[in-house]
Amino acid sequence: LEQRFKGRLYVKIAFDARFSRRIYAGCDYFLMPSRFEPCGLGQLIAMRYGTIPVGRKTGGLADTITPERGFLFEEYTPEALLSCVKNAVEIYRKEKFYEMRKNCMLSDFSWKKSAEEYLKLYRDAKEVWNGG
């Protein structure tokens, strides 16, 4: 395939962390049509680089891809995937596209933020327990 589409397609059957970062940074969209995804790191890495994720509404993808920073589809069908991709391509290089890229890069999925949210939940639960 690489020879057939010379200059337009590159195939590398190996993982290279440095090269993968270049791919994330060079993409406009990151497609992650998982049937099942407990967490999903791909979309988080993509968002860090300003690459808009397009994924299926499941597991961690449903938790992290919001309408402000990506596109989700529900049914695991080719039609649903294609419809979602069309919606994403529709905004390409328009104001909404650049807003979404910015929102992706500003997203905070750090452990610090998660820990703060858990602490708040525990404190609120303690307050409810104590009747206040």
Q: Is residue 93 part of a domain?
A: yes
Give the Cα separation of 72 and 92 in Å (integer): 16
Q: Name 56's Cβ contacts closer than 8 Å, sequence gap at least 6.
A: 32, 33, 34, 35, 37, 72, 73, 74, 76, 81
Q: Is residue 23 part of a domain?
A: yes
> Domain span at residue 101?
17-107
Q: Is residue 125 part of a domain?
A: no
Residue corresponding to tokens 């596109």 = 71
Which residues sit opposite 53 in a β-bridge? Answer: 30
Q: Is residue 76 part of a domain?
A: yes
Give the Cα separation of 90 and 112 in Å (integer): 35
| CATH value at residue 38 | 3.40.50.2000
Q: Is residue 7 part of a domain?
A: no
Q: How many domains does the chain have?
A: 1
Q: Is residue 56 part of a domain?
A: yes
Instruction: Note the pLDDT tens digit of each residue in 91-129.
Output: 999 999 999 999 999 999 999 999 999 999 999 999 999
Instruction: Note the pLDDT tens digit of each residue in 26-79.
Output: 999 999 999 999 988 999 999 999 999 999 999 999 999 999 999 999 999 999
User: Which two structure tokens, joined as six digits, stand for 30?
Assistant: 């990151």
Q: Is residue 114 part of a domain?
A: no
Question: Which pLDDT does position 16 carry in this prediction?
Answer: 93
How far is the CA of 17 from the CAs of 21, 45, 52, 91, in angstroms? Answer: 6, 12, 20, 30
Q: Is residue 54 part of a domain?
A: yes
Model-level pTM? Answer: 0.84
